Amino acid sequence: MTRAVGIDIGGTGIKGAVVDTDTGELLSERIKLSTPEGGEPADIVATVLEIITTLDVDPTVPVGVCFPAVVIHGTTMSAANVSDKWIGLEAEALFEKALGRDIHFVNDADAAGIAEVLFGAAKGEKGLVILTTLGTGIGSAVIYDGVLVPNSELGHLEIDGKDAESRASYAAKERGELSYPRWAKRLQRYYSHVEMLFSPDLFIVGGGVSKHYDEFLPLLELRAPIVPAALRNNAGILGAAALAVR
């Protein structure tokens, strides 16, 4: 059994647990604390330290942290629902100094994608898998034969002169008070465009709305199968932990 800690940092909550990275099972209680108001780097680091201290793991246990930003060589190049002070910050080094250990730092959608490939809806799937998360925006993960292509940001494709997520995210559905069939027409435009560009073997749809997948996924007509994510709220934790070990 290989153990690792997975930490999932979001705009409203920070979650963590010890994970069996061979099976994807949680070996501890999942701890969730509120994201500090304002999402300042020092405050978020302190909250992560509190979670890891509560989990009480040996310093040799790997730690993976996923975060809502483009992450390049440990530096956060964007910031979603957290302080702008994260932009251009050497975040991995900041966490390592505070935690007193090496970590693996990764984009949150990328972590969720890896989790679905290893333990969820894409387990055993060969070829190109594209995961999208439909929420405040559209997150994405691109994985080929189990290898992650990081920071894909497919929610920011320009479609019909507009940023895709401004039209097709779950937040756009809520803003426009769209029925599922009306929203599905926007999703059709989005997924057809992504399919034209990448020709994936499988689409996976995550985000909180994925639990209502039967309201909109059957309305989409694509060449590739499109299925709901299996791991829901644990995907970031599992993926971050798995990447820390790999």
Q: What residue ranges of the chain are covered by domains with CATH 3.30.420.40?
A: 3-110+234-245, 123-229
Cα 35 from Cα 229, distance rounded (Å): 24
23-75 tens-digit pLDDT: 999 999 999 999 999 999 999 999 999 999 999 999 999 999 999 999 999 99
Cα 120 from Cα 115, distance rounded (Å): 7
131-147 tens-digit pLDDT: 999 998 999 999 999 99
SS3 (DSSP) at 129 = strand
Q: Is 135 exposed, middle or buried (0-12, 13-18, 19+ CB in 10 A)?
A: buried
Per-residue pLDDT band for 1 (boundaries 50, 70, 90) equals confident
- Please report which helix (H) or strand (E) contains residue 24, including its range: none
- Domain 3-110+234-245 grouped into CATH 3.30.420.40: yes
pLDDT of amino acid 12? 87
- Could you name the CATH architecture of 123-229? 2-Layer Sandwich (3.30)
Cα 189 from Cα 85, distance rounded (Å): 35
User: Region 97-113: what's the mean pLDDT?
Assistant: 95
pLDDT of amino acid 231? 95
pLDDT of amino acid 176? 97
Per-residue pLDDT band for 197 (boundaries 50, 70, 90) equals very high
Q: Calculate what percentage of the chain has a pLDDT beyond 70.
A: 100
pLDDT of amino acid 11? 85
| Cβ-contact 165, 135 below 8 angstroms | no
User: Region 231-235: what's the mean pLDDT?
Assistant: 91
Query: Model's pTM, two decimal places?
Result: 0.93
- CA quadruple 209, 210, 212, 214: dihedral sign: positive
pLDDT of amino acid 212? 96
Cα 119 from Cα 115, distance rounded (Å): 6
User: Region 195-224: what's the mean pLDDT?
Assistant: 96
Instruction: Give which of 132, 137, 147, 139 is closest to 210, Cα–Cα.
Output: 132
Alpha helices, DSSP H only, in the chain?
41-55, 91-99, 108-119, 164-168, 170-175, 180-198, 235-245
Between 65 and 232, residue with greater pLDDT = 65
